[in-house]
């Protein structure tokens, strides 16, 4: 870095040290012991619905995907690397992100189908970490419909359980709780601002 | 001004006051409901305070650790002593990326340093992408609330603004239609602009992970789509370890928007090949924070996670509105943060903009004892500025809150007419003596609002 800026670094660190000379003991708390406790899929379904996202509980995931895409009129749908073959087959016209699609191409698609890292029952949250079947972040951001499949054994109890399950990951993580929303105009809630306007969760039994 | 015009101005102001009251009342109720769902909320608040204190009390170590981790993950860390240095860095990095524009997700830190104006002076255009910020920017206003910055504008005004400024025609006043218009307008920018600028809610020293909490998805757009991402972060945002996110991400959304979880929370660590920006720059901003840290009582204000729960609980804020505080940080937190971040002498009045009722402390997720810090700052003002807590000082304080002495006196008249005079022997007592938020008499407060 240029000289004046490393001077800024030295000065800020010196100011900090001078500012905290009165602190004699720092209470180091060791963080909570976090474990990834399983959560209740029924609660997840209820909490996701609270955000006005739709929840489909089914043991036929491919069938549910096909039905949801049809319901939303979504034909050209993005498919991340690693999407299970039967989910892929449920998409009328799957557009694979290999090689990566341009952002404008992604924005022009009707939707995206993904799995997830896990889900959080208490808060109705889907956690995405870019693992197999999830894709990079832009994939679940630009298309207008996000169909996300959660297996019952992926349901965790609460936010701390999710943080525990993620470990010290350095991959990008996105917590998704319902469709994007704003209450900026006279405090009236509107679903769907910049992210996908519709989030459909398929909860596999 | 003709009568119809005057009447419209009058109504707009009344509308503003209603909007603000509706916002604070609604969010207060939502917060209370979701906080009540968490059985260990009080221990969690203690934990939140401890997490922040651990970082603040050994801040140099945590920042150095953060720098090492971000650098190891492919990011670049910069340090800025003040607003000018931070703004210059953003301008330089933007030009180095070959761009003369940025897309920006709302952040208090970039408001605080006046980034947009500084960039404009350098010929760089900053596009605000939050719906409310867009409204405020198009209208040439200032935000009036941390969470709902355009709460002072109604739907018809916003429709007119979008038709005039965004080239939209035939828009309805339906918030969904207006939101869709903003989506169309901003989508093109998200896809085109090569540099994104964000703030940070948290940064984990141990891992170098940065966290942004938001609702609309513009934060994801700005932090994911551009080739270059520049994050401007106050040095007090660092937290020790990844596990601390469990605590903070439980406390923040419930305290802030009254949701169990906000729609989108993003975590990223440096750069990830094939996913998101190729260049990541983290600017660590001092700008008065080390001076704040040097005050053993006042430093607790640096725990603040900008949830705005204290604003929504504050009877003074509900009446005076965000603009009255005259700086980026309004409400109770503004009253203790602004005088410390800037020069105390520039904000001698703010520590008096409170009734010390304690509602802010009760809701604060990181247990900042705002009333105690207010009293402490009052005594510092008196000690360091040599001004006794006199009528003169009180007048100055209230003049600040009400924007002018004349308006203050009008408000005083309003209060007297409301039969509050018995509780208000001196101007100071307007705030300090009133424990229960008095019911504002419609007429006099409307007069007051008209005059603002
Ligand atoms: S002072 Fe506390 S309640 Fe107020 S914004 Fe900061 S964290 Fe929230």
Which residue of chain A is at minimal alpha-carbon distance from B185? Answer: A194
Mean pLDDT value across residues B338-350: 80
Residue among B222, B261, B341 with most chain A CBs within 10 A, to mutate: B261
State the Cα–Cα distance between residues B13 and B5, nearest whole angstrom.
Answer: 13
pLDDT at B210: 98
Mean pLDDT value across residues B382-402: 57
For residue A178, the chain B residues in CB contact (below 8 A) are 263
Of B106, B116, B110, the C-alpha closest to B213 is B106
**Residue bearing the CA closest to ligand 1, atom 3:** B364
pLDDT in tens, B7-38: 445 445 666 677 778 878 888 999 999 999 99
pLDDT at B396: 54
Chain B within 8 Å of A105 (Cβ-Cβ)? no
With an 8 Å Cβ cutoff, are A195 and B220 in contact? yes
Angle at B84 between CA B83 and CA B85, to 5 degrees: 95
pLDDT at B361: 96
pLDDT at B440: 30
For residue B78, the chain A residues in CB contact (below 8 A) are 1, 5
State the Cα–Cα distance between residues B58 and A24, nearest whole angstrom.
Answer: 10
State the Cα–Cα distance between residues A160 and A171, nearest whole angstrom.
Answer: 18
Work out the minimum CA distance from B127 to partner chain A, whole angstroms: 15
Encoded tokens for B287: 């700008």
pLDDT in tens, A94-123: 999 999 999 999 999 999 999 999 999 999
Of B129, B115, B82, the C-alpha closest to B230 is B115
With an 8 Å Cβ cutoff, are A173 and B267 in contact? yes
**Quick one: CA torsion of B184, B188, B189, B191, rounded to 10 degrees?**
130
> Given 3-state DSSP classes, what are the helix, strand and coil percentages for chain B, each rounded to the nearest 5?
55, 10, 30
Structural contact between residues B355 and B315, judged by C-beta atoms closer than 8 angstroms: yes
Percent of chain A with pLDDT over 70: 94
Of A122, A179, A128, A113, the C-alpha closest to A155 is A122
**Residue bearing the CA closest to ligand 1, atom 8:** B307
From the CA of B256, give the closest atom in ligand 1. Answer: 8
Structural contact between residues B135 and B142, judged by C-beta atoms closer than 8 angstroms: no
Q: Which CATH architecture has domain B301-385?
A: Orthogonal Bundle (1.10)
Residue among A46, A131, A172, A197 with most chain B CBs within 10 A, to mutate: A172
pLDDT at B433: 30
pLDDT at B142: 73
pLDDT in tens, B102-145: 999 989 999 999 999 999 999 999 999 998 888 888 888 777 66
For residue B158, the chain A residues in CB contact (below 8 A) are 185
With an 8 Å Cβ cutoff, are B175 and A160 in contact? no
Of B274, B284, B299, B246, the C-alpha closest to B69 is B284
> Which ipTM did the prediction report?
0.95
pLDDT at B378: 87
Confidence of residue B443 (pLDDT cuts 50, 70, 90): very low
CATH of B59-287, one of 3.40.50.720, 3.40.630.30, 1.50.10.10, 3.40.50.10420: 3.40.50.10420
Please tell me which residue, B367 or B328, carries the higher pLDDT value.
Answer: B367
Q: Give the DSSP letter string of B311-369.
A: HHT-HHHHHH-GGGG-SSS-HHHHHHHHHHHS-GGGGTTGGGS-----HHHHH-TT---
From the CA of B332, give the closest atom in ligand 1. Answer: 4
For residue A31, the chain B residues in CB contact (below 8 A) are 240-241, 243-244
pLDDT in tens, B396-437: 554 554 444 444 444 433 333 333 322 323 333 333 332 222
Structural contact between residues B220 and B190, judged by C-beta atoms closer than 8 angstroms: no
pLDDT at B326: 67
Mean pLDDT value across residues B50-74: 97
State the Cα–Cα distance between residues B159 and A140, nearest whole angstrom.
Answer: 30
State the Cα–Cα distance between residues A114 and A65, nearest whole angstrom.
Answer: 10
Alpha helices, H only, B58-210:
59-72, 83-96, 108-112, 115-121, 131-139, 155-165, 175-192
DSSP A60: -
Q: Is pLDDT above 80 for B321? A: no
Q: Is pLDDT above 90 for B61? A: yes
Q: How many helices (H) and strands (E) does chain B have?
A: 21, 10
Of B60, B77, B49, the C-alpha closest to B208 is B77
Q: What is the pTM of this model?
A: 0.88
pLDDT at A27: 66
Which residue of chain A is at minimal alpha-carbon distance from B263? Answer: A177
* Cα B69 to averaged position of ligand 1 atoms, centre (Å): 28
Work out the minimum CA distance from B373 to partner chain A, whole angstroms: 17
pLDDT at B393: 53
Confidence of residue B60 (pLDDT cuts 50, 70, 90): very high
* Cα B310 to averaged position of ligand 1 atoms, centre (Å): 5
Residue among B31, B76, B220 with most chain A CBs within 10 A, to mutate: B220
pLDDT in tens, A152-172: 999 999 999 999 999 988 999
For residue B266, the chain A residues in CB contact (below 8 A) are 137, 172-175
DSSP B275: B
Rounded mean pLDDT of chain B? 82
For residue A194, the chain B residues in CB contact (below 8 A) are 129, 183, 186-187, 190, 216-218, 220-221
Encoded tokens for B177: 């239609």
Cβ–ligand 1 distance for B333 under 6 Å, the answer yes
pLDDT at B132: 87
State the Cα–Cα distance between residues A190 and B30, nearest whole angstrom.
Answer: 17
**Residue bearing the CA closest to ligand 1, atom 6:** B304
Please tell me which residue, B308 or B319, carries the higher pLDDT value.
Answer: B308
* Cα B313 to averaged position of ligand 1 atoms, centre (Å): 10
Confidence of residue A4 (pLDDT cuts 50, 70, 90): low
Work out the minimum CA distance from A10 to partner chain B, whole angstroms: 9
Domain edges within chain B = 59-287, 301-385, 404-451
Edge-first strand order for the sheet with A54-58 is A54-58, A198-204, A145-151, A111-114, A76-79, A93-96
Question: Which of A124, A168, A177 is nearest residue B242 as measured by Cβ atoms?
Answer: A168
- Among all chains, which residue has been given the structure tokens 């761009």? B99
Mean pLDDT value across residues A61-74: 98
Q: Which CATH architecture has domain A37-204?
A: 3-Layer(aba) Sandwich (3.40)
Work out the minimum CA distance from B19 to partner chain A, whole angstroms: 7
pLDDT in tens, A170-196: 999 999 999 888 888 877 888 888 989
pLDDT in tens, B175-209: 999 999 999 999 999 999 999 999 999 999 999 99
* Chain A 57-76, residues with CB within 8 Å of chain B CB atoms: none
DSSP B68: H
pLDDT at B390: 47
Q: Is pLDDT above 90 for B371? A: yes
Structural contact between residues A92 and A147, judged by C-beta atoms closer than 8 angstroms: no
């Amino acid at each position: 870095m240029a000289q004046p800026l490393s001077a800024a670094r030295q000065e800020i660190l010196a100011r900090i040290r001078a500012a905290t000379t009165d602190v004699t003991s720092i209470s180091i708390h060791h963080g909570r012991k976090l474990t990834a406790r399983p959560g209740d899929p029924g609660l997840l379904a209820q909490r996701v619905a609270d955000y006005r996202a739709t929840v489909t509980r089914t043991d036929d995931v491919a069938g549910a995907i096909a039905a949801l895409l049809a319901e939303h009129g979504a034909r050209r749908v993005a498919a991340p690397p690693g999407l299970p073959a039967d989910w892929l087959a449920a998409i009328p016209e799957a557009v694979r992100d290999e090689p990566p699609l341009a952002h404008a191409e992604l924005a022009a698609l009707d939707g995206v189908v993904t799995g997830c890292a896990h889900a959080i029952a208490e808060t109705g949250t889907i956690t995405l970490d870019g693992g197999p079947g999830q894709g990079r972040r832009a994939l679940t951001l630009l298309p207008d419909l996000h169909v996300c499949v959660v297996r019952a054994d992926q349901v965790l109890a609460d936010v701390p359980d999710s943080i525990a399950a993620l470990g010290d990951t350095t991959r990008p993580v996105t917590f998704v709780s319902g469709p994007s929303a704003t209450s900026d105009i006279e405090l009236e809630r509107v679903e769907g601002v910049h992210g996908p306007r519709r989030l459909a969760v398929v909860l596999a039994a | 001004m003709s009568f119809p015009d005057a009447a419209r101005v009058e109504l707009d102001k009344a509308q503003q006051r209603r909007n603000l009251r509706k916002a604070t009342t609604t969010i207060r109720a939502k917060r209370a409901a979701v906080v009540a769902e968490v059985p260990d909320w009080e221990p969690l608040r203690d934990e939140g305070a401890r997490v922040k204190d651990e970082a603040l009390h050994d801040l140099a170590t945590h920042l150095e650790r953060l720098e090492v981790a971000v650098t190891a993950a492919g990011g670049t860390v910069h340090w800025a002593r003040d607003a000018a240095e931070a703004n210059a860095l953003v301008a330089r990095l933007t030009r180095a990326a070959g761009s003369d524009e940025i897309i920006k997700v709302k952040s208090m830190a970039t408001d605080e340093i006046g980034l947009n104006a500084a960039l404009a002076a350098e010929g760089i255009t900053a596009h605000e992408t939050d719906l409310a910020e867009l409204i405020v920017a198009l209208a040439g206003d200032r935000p009036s609330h941390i969470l709902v910055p355009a709460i002072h504008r109604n739907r018809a005004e916003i429709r007119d603004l979008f038709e005039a400024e965004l080239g939209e025609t035939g828009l309805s006043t339906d918030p969904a239609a207006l939101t869709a218009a903003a989506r169309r307008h901003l989508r093109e920018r998200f896809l085109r602009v090569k540099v994104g600028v964000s703030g940070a809610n948290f940064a984990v020293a141990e891992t170098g992970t940065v966290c942004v909490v938001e609702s609309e998805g513009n934060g994801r757009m700005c932090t994911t789509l551009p080739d270059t991402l520049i994050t401007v972060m106050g040095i007090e945002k660092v937290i020790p370890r990844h596990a601390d996110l469990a605590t903070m991400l439980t406390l923040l959304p419930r305290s802030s928007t009254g949701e169990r979880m906000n729609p989108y929370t993003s975590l990223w660590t440096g750069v990830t090949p094939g996913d998101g920006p190729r260049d990541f720059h983290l600017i660590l901003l001092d700008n008065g924070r080390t001076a704040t840290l040097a005050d053993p009582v006042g430093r607790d204000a640096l725990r603040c996670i900008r949830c705005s729960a204290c604003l929504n609980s504050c009877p003074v804020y509900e009446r005076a509105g965000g603009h009255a505080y005259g700086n980026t940080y309004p409400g109770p937190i503004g009253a203790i943060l602004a005088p410390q971040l800037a020069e105390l002498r520039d904000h001698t009045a703010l520590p008096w903009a409170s009734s010390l009722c304690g509602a802010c402390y009760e809701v604060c997720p990181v247990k900042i004892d705002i009333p105690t810090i207010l009293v402490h700052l009052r005594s510092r003002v008196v000690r360091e500025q040599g001004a006794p807590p006199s009528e003169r000082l009180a007048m100055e304080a209230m003049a600040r809150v009400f924007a002018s002495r004349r308006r203050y006196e009008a408000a005083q008249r309003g209060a007297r007419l409301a039969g509050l005079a018995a509780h208000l022997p001196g101007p100071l007592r307007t705030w300090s003596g009133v424990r229960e938020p008095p019911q504002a008499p419609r007429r006099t407060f409307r007069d007051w609002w008209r005059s603002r």
